[in-house]
Amino acid sequence: MESLGVVVNPIAGMGGRVGLKGTDGKLEEARRRGAKPRAPDRAREALEAFARRKPEVEVYTGAGVLGETVARDVGIDPHVVSGATTDVNDASDPDDPGTSAADTRATVEALLERGVDLVLFVGGDGTAVDVATVLEEADRSTPILGVPAGVKIYSSVFAVTPADAGRIAAEFDRVETREVNDIDEAAYREGEVKSELRAVVPVPVAPDVQSSKQLSSGNVDSLAAGFAQEVDPARTYVFGPGGTVGAIESELGIDPSPLGIDIWHDDEVLSRDATEDDILECLESVDGPVTIVVSPIGGQGFLFGRGNQQLSPAVIRRAEEIEVVASGAKLDGIDALHVDTDDRDLDEELRGWQRVRTGRFTTRLVNVV
């Protein structure tokens, strides 16, 4: 590879920890709730991994917050392409990047005009759609690879972690076609997943590129019943999103927020559809141990870092126990479990063999890698 194109969506993922389940059309609300950008740090991690392996490769990127700033931070002297319509060089307020999807698309157009060999983009499914749309309109077959930074990451064009993305970008030698999917965020916030195939694009072949999310996971009734029978009234339970955990909540008489975080203690719901701050505040107000209950994303195997960013490193470290639940059918489609918490030390602590409850009395050991 002779040249790499980089584009960063600096607002990607800002809605995650504040409970908005996405940033599309909700950026101002995310800021009001105190959301902070996470994409630049994840872009930095990916480019550090890339530069260690291929320091000689020419890097082209968008101006300012669209990639230039992060590239220079890691010691890369990039070629800066133009096209963005907003003032991407204004760093007076790092929490208000002020960019739009139009800036992403314009930057990708400029990268393609420079003939880059790979477009490495930082964002979520919405950003993937923007990049794929430009490829289609330009009738180009340039491969793309996503650095996961958004709340929604259903597409199979993302690396498992930012560091994986940098490594894959530096080392890949062939590509295959993968799916770009997006979901209706308004429906998602109401607890309904409506996934739509938006494009098929070339992506580097590597084991650390995630699969598309599977939307069904099999029967969980017996699992939910078994879990409910064993709850400890002295414990506080932090229930993650998804149908499997929701079935447990229903068994306990809770009306679950399907894609949010609920906190329950001694037959009382302390917070429903909680933000990171809500969770931490609740846990400060109760005594006794804390259990986080999560189910891996079907087809991908993520426990943390996809669609549940409210379960932040601070929240996870507050828990004495992590209970993983999944039907056998869901686990049959998962080779390993993954974590991507934005905290490398915590990710390392979470790796290893994890016991997963699969039924009323059954468990299975699955490796977190």
**Could you report the per-residue pLDDT of 332-369, keeping only the tens digit for each?**
878 899 999 999 999 999 999 999 999 888 888 899 99
Beta bridge partners of 128: none
pLDDT at residue 74, rounded to an integer = 96
Greater confidence (30 vs 247) lies with: 247
Tally the C-alpha atoms within 13 A of residue 205's C-alpha that lie toward its C-beta: 5
Query: Please, are residues 244 and 326 in contact by the beta-carbon 8 Å criterion?
Result: yes
> Mean pLDDT, to the nearest integer, of 173-177?
92
Q: Domain 3-204: which topology? A: Rossmann fold (3.40.50)
**Could you report the per-residue pLDDT of 76-110, keeping only the tens digit for each?**
999 999 766 555 554 445 555 567 889 999 999 99
Pairing verdict, β 268-271 and 195-204? unpaired
Q: Which two tokens stand for residue 278?
A: 């809500």
Extents of the domains making up the chain = 3-204, 221-368
Rounded Cα gap, residues 194 and 191, in angstroms: 10
Residue 26 pLDDT more than 70?
no
Confidence category of residue 18, pLDDT binned at 50, 70, 90 = very low
pLDDT at residue 41, rounded to an integer = 92
Taking the CB of residue 208, how many other CB atoms lie within 10 A of it?
A: 16
**Could you report the per-residue pLDDT of 279-303, keeping only the tens digit for each?**
999 999 999 999 999 999 888 899 9
φ/ψ of 307, rounded to 5, equals: 75, 0
Q: Which of 97-106, 119-128, 305-314 has the lowest mean pLDDT?
A: 97-106
Greater confidence (306 vs 21) lies with: 306
φ/ψ of 145, rounded to 5, equals: -150, 135
3-state secondary structure of 203: strand
pLDDT at residue 89, rounded to an integer = 52
Rounded Cα gap, residues 175 and 144, in angstroms: 9
- Residue reference for tokens 């995630």: 210
| Coarse DSSP helix, strand, coil percentages of the chain, rounded to the nearest 5 percent | 30, 25, 45
Nearest Cα to Cα of residue 86 among 70, 107, 69, 71: 107
Tally the C-alpha atoms within 13 A of residue 347's C-alpha that lie toward its C-beta: 16
Percent pLDDT > 90 in the chain is 62
Query: Please, are residues 238 and 291 in contact by the beta-carbon 8 Å criterion?
Result: yes
49 in the Ramachandran plot: left (φ > 0), alpha (ψ -120 to 50) or beta?
Answer: alpha
pLDDT at residue 217, rounded to an integer = 41
DSSP string, 109-130: HHHHHTT-SEEEEEE-HHHHHH
**Who's near 20: CB < 8 A, 6+ residues apart?**
26, 29, 30, 33, 35, 151, 189
**Could you report the per-residue pLDDT of 252-280, keeping only the tens digit for each?**
999 998 789 999 999 999 999 999 999 99
10 in the Ramachandran plot: left (φ > 0), alpha (ψ -120 to 50) or beta?
Answer: alpha
Rounded Cα gap, residues 5 and 61, in angstroms: 6
Which residue pairs from 205-209 have beta carbons closer than 8 angstroms and sit at least 24 positions apart in sequence? Answer: 205/172, 205/174, 205/175, 205/176, 206/159, 206/164, 206/168, 206/171, 206/172, 208/159, 208/160, 208/161, 208/164, 208/167, 208/168, 209/145, 209/156, 209/157, 209/158, 209/159, 209/160, 209/168, 209/178
Average pLDDT, the chain: 86
Query: Please, are residues 222 and 240 in contact by the beta-carbon 8 Å criterion?
Result: no
88 in the Ramachandran plot: left (φ > 0), alpha (ψ -120 to 50) or beta?
Answer: alpha
**What's the residue count for the chain?**
369
What is the pTM assigned to this prediction? 0.68
Greater confidence (342 vs 24) lies with: 342
Greater confidence (38 vs 318) lies with: 318
DSSP string, 14-48: TTTTTT-S--TT-HHHHHHTT----HHHHHHHHHH
**Could you report the per-residue pLDDT of 203-228, keeping only the tens digit for each?**
998 877 776 655 444 468 889 988 99
266 in the Ramachandran plot: left (φ > 0), alpha (ψ -120 to 50) or beta?
Answer: left
